[in-house]
């Protein structure tokens, strides 16, 4: 078949797409100017999610929803970088899962700033060295990242978005499996591969590292040491992969939070709100605190208790509910909550991915 005529048609469509994209850029620039005047950030996760949900509804295919989202992720990323390039701080070093989550959310265009620890990510955004920060918050197999929850109790930053990332772990080493005597990784990653390690490396010592990517760097330098990390990290630090998909649960997903200095926008109709509560030291205090939500049929998707670090045996409760802070029903529930809890801190409201 002569491909010439089809390719000519494709060229014509590409010319139209480019013209339309530039028209879109000009309109988005107008929006950016208005936001700039009002002192608002350009990045608006709620608007982006609402736009993507609408596009998914009208997309007749064969373009898949994930393909459509990836294309639009980059269109918006390029748009924002034309107006005001963003700096995104994340838990580094380079090639961590947190970097992958940050790129999934912000695309390829921002400046990415790897930070050595979770508190450093908070500090970079608080000091204005970064526009936004990305931190891991919980994993479907390993549970919460306590360090992140503890930092949320102390910060003035707001959660403005969340990102889910499927986590596929690899065993990475310059030595063959028979010679591996030590496995290094972030405690969470080691916990997610416990059964695999018990089966394949029962005698290897398990050692905590600051991050999965840090463990790969070390595995590249030390014989007999293996790391658990992503394929991307193995490629980045040029250390061979011995085994892929070694996590105990096939469906291993981590949830990351995107932080900003101020809340952005109102609800999208499908949002989540995170709150921090403290309770009075009296019988039934927790039950009383949950009542304002259950009595209104507000779904609570998470509750996690953490030591308050102010007093022994004093706890803070981190909760996630369906709805946006600005929703009337949420406001009514929070009003009732304030009457029975000494502390009610709003951590942020953000869109739930459709």
* Closest approach of ligand PRE to the CB of residue 43, in Å: 5
With CA atoms as reference, report the closest residue to 351 among 253, 251, 257.
257
With CA atoms as reference, report the closest residue to 113 among 127, 97, 102.
102
Q: How far is CA 128 from the centre of its chain?
A: 20
Catalytic residue among 98, 155, 158, 254: 254
* Closest approach of ligand PRE to the CB of residue 163, in Å: 14
Comparison of 42 and 137: residue with beta carbon closer to ligand PRE = 42
Cα separation of 192 and 249, whole Å? 8
Catalytic residue among 106, 122, 256, 293: 256
* Closest approach of ligand PRE to the CB of residue 71, in Å: 13
Let me know if 254 is a catalytic residue. Answer: yes
Angle at 21 between CA 18 and CA 27, to 5 degrees: 145
Tokens for 289?
């605190």
Comparison of 47 and 296: residue with beta carbon closer to ligand PRE = 47
* Closest approach of ligand PRE to the CB of residue 271, in Å: 16
- Whether residue 62 is preceded by a cis peptide bond, meaning omega within 30 degrees of 0, is yes
Segment holding 136, helix H or strand E:
strand 132-139
User: Assign residue 172 a region: left if phi > 0, alpha if psi is -120 to 50, beta otherwise?
Assistant: beta
For binding to ligand PRE (CB under 6 A), which residues are involved? 28, 31-32, 42-44, 47-48, 51, 76, 79-80
Paired residues of 99 in beta bridges: none
Comparison of 3 and 58: residue with beta carbon closer to ligand PRE = 58
Let me know if 256 is a catalytic residue. Answer: yes
CA atoms within 13 A on the CB side of 178: 0
Comparison of 75 and 329: residue with beta carbon closer to ligand PRE = 75
Comparison of 215 and 258: residue with beta carbon closer to ligand PRE = 258
* Closest approach of ligand PRE to the CB of residue 191, in Å: 35
**Which residues are part of the catalytic machinery?**
254, 256
């Amino acid at each position: 078949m002569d491909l010439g005529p089809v390719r000519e048609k494709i060229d014509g469509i590409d010319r139209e797409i480019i013209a339309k994209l530039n028209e879109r850029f000009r309109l988005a620039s107008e929006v950016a100017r208005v936001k700039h005047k009002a002192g608002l950030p350009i990045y608006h996760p709620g608007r982006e999610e609402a736009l993507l949900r609408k596009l998914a509804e009208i997309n007749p295919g064969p373009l898949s929803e994930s393909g459509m989202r990836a294309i639009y992720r980059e269109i918006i990323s390029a748009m924002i970088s034309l107006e005001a390039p963003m700096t995104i701080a994340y838990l580094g070093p380079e090639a961590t899962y947190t970097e992958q989550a940050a790129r999934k959310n912000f695309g390829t265009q921002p400046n990415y700033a790897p930070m050595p620890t979770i508190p450093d990510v908070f500090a970079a955004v608080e000091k204005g060295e970064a526009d936004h920060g990305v931190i891991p918050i919980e994993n479907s197999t390993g549970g919460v990242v306590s360090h992140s929850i503890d930092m949320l109790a102390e910060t003035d930053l707001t959660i403005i978005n969340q990102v889910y990332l499927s986590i596929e772990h690899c065993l990475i080493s310059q030595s063959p499996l028979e010679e591996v005597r030590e496995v290094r990784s972030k405690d969470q990653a080691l916990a997610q591969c416990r059964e695999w390690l018990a089966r394949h490396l029962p005698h290897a010592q398990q050692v905590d590292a600051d991050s999965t990517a840090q463990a790969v760097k070390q595995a590249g330098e030390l014989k007999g040491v293996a790391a658990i990390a992503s394929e991307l990290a193995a490629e980045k630090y040029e250390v061979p992969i011995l085994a892929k998909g070694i996590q105990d649960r096939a469906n291993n997903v981590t949830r990351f939070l995107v932080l900003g200095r101020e809340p952005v926008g109102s609800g999208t109709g499908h949002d989540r709100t995170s709150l921090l509560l403290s309770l009075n030291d009296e019988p039934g205090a927790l039950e009383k605190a949950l009542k304002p939500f259950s009595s209104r049929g507000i779904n609570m998707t998470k509750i996690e208790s953490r030591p308050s670090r102010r007093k022994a045996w004093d706890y803070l409760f981190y909760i996630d509910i369906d709805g946006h802070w600005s929703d009337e029903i949420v406001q009514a529930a929070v009003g009732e909550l304030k009457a029975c809890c000494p502390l009610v801190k709003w951590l942020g409201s953000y869109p739930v991915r459709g």
